[in-house]
Amino acid sequence: MKGSGPRLSAVIIALASLAMAVLPFAASRASAASVNAPLTREEIVKKLGELNAGEDPASAPSDAEAQANEQKIEEADALPPDEYVRGRIASVASTVERETAGVKEHVTTYKVILLDGAEKGKEVEVQTSDLDAVVANRSFKAGDKIVIVKSYKLGGEAAYYLADSYRIPALAGIVFLFMLAGIAFGRWRGVTSLLGLAVTVGIIMLYVVPRITAGGDPLRVSLVATFAIAAVSLYLAHGFNRRTTIAFVSTLITLALSAWMAVSWVAWASLFGTGSEDAIFLQGSGFGDINLRGLLLGGIMLGVMGILDDITTAQAAIVEELKHANPSFKFPDLYKRGLSVGKEHISSLINTLFLAYAGASLPLFLLFTTTSSQPLWYVLNSETIAEEIVRTIVGSVCLILAVPITTAIAASYYGERRVRQGDAPPLPHHHH
């Protein structure tokens, strides 16, 4: 149909302009919210210091003790940094039981051969305790590859510790099987999808992380990243066609609405991004005054982008295939039938989204059983739980909104044009 191309371009420009107008507004709302509720490093230190509010002033160290402690800190800072090397357990030397301060523990001594580093080939002894949370409930045997940390004590003496299992080869095998499955079943689409995944990882590692650590606003940085990921990964994974363009525009609009919801609801729930120890530790680890609330919002937006790809491309494909099946369908028929299929998609995706977050935050659910002395409302009120609730609900509402938005855009476009052969990849034919 003549004029369909310009009409689609006009619709895309208008909708993309709307999305781009809302995204900066959402980011500015987040910045304003951060100003209204600032969270500096000093405030975090003060918050943590409240734990010692009841401490007896008489227990404070004397000037001489404080000076000695300062000297020890300076000596520790002058020590060489820890060295991390791979090792292979040659043998299990012994396992003994000992008691320290009334607490019994089992200490196992291993003889380990270092596999790399300046001391490659050297045999050292390392000990583990069943009270050590890092290696508790693990059993090591001769031949196992492990990670060894060489640490220096005051005076320059070196000590070796078993830090973890060495699992890089296993991870590489798992990634290879994933790539093999994607290429085997997706063929060329699988290859382009993997390229899109590589671009996504590259954007996060080469843009998002450096920009945030350099002092950039986490939400603004994440919004730019989600736009770039949507633009590149969608077209790489699904090809350069009208269907993908419709999905891309729908993704932009839904992202803009999701950003507004995330900013508003995080502020409404009085969340400051301190729901995890990692966030507090990050701000006090030499990264400067990172905006933890912005970091929370940025993480929500990246998570939203991860679930939007599937729903927008699927809905655009559904409407196009409905038009192929019955070229006489106009906007009302396409929208009604496409929305009917989308509703089924929503019900399954919301449950999938909850399970994904629940699986990643399973320890949080244990709080409901381990904090029997605390009322349920107190546990739910904690920022740790509240962050996960808001994160899950923003993602779920985003899914719900994406279906009618994508369906409406696709139905308005395909309803006014005649489907031509070759506009979309043909369905596979079965040969008998």
- The reported pLDDT for the residue numbered 178 is 94
Write down the domain spans for the chain: 4-46+170-414, 80-166
Length of the chain: 432
pLDDT in tens, 311-352: 899 899 999 999 988 888 899 999 999 998 888 877 777 777
Predicted TM-score (pTM) of this structure: 0.69
Determine the Cα–Cα distance for residues 99 and 216; give it in Å rounded to an integer: 51
The tokens for 351 are 């449950």
- The reported pLDDT for the residue numbered 136 is 67
Strand-pair partners of 87: 114, 146
Average pLDDT over residues 8-26: 43
- The reported pLDDT for the residue numbered 29 is 44
3-state secondary structure 328-393: CCCHHHHHHHHHHHHHHHHHHHHHHHHHHHHHHCHHHHHHHHHCCCCCHHHHHHCHHHHHHHHHHH
The answer to whether residue 33 scores a pLDDT higher than 80 is no
Question: Is 98 in a helix, a strand, or coil?
Answer: strand
Q: Which residue has the higher pLDDT, 183 or 9?
A: 183
Per-residue confidence band for 388, with pLDDT thresholds at 50, 70 and 90: confident
User: Is domain 80-166 in CATH 2.40.50, yes or no?
Assistant: yes
pLDDT, averaged across the chain:
77
The answer to whether residue 85 scores a pLDDT higher than 90 is yes
What is the number of helices (H) and of strands (E) in the chain? Answer: 13, 5
Per-residue confidence band for 250, with pLDDT thresholds at 50, 70 and 90: very high
Per-residue confidence band for 20, with pLDDT thresholds at 50, 70 and 90: very low
Determine the Cα–Cα distance for residues 162 and 140; give it in Å rounded to an integer: 11
- The reported pLDDT for the residue numbered 288 is 61
Per-residue confidence band for 405, with pLDDT thresholds at 50, 70 and 90: very high
Comparing CA positions, the residue from 91, 87, 85 lying closest to residue 113 is: 87
* Inter-CA distances, 288 with 204, 285, 414, Å: 20, 8, 51
pLDDT in tens, 284-310: 666 667 788 888 898 889 888 877 888
- The reported pLDDT for the residue numbered 290 is 78
Residues 6+ apart with CB under 8 A from 394: 258, 261, 262, 265, 300, 304
In single-letter form, the type of residue at position 329 comes to F
What backbone torsions phi and psi does residue 148 show, to the nearest 5 degrees?
A: -110, 135
The answer to whether residue 264 scores a pLDDT higher than 60 is yes
- The reported pLDDT for the residue numbered 58 is 52
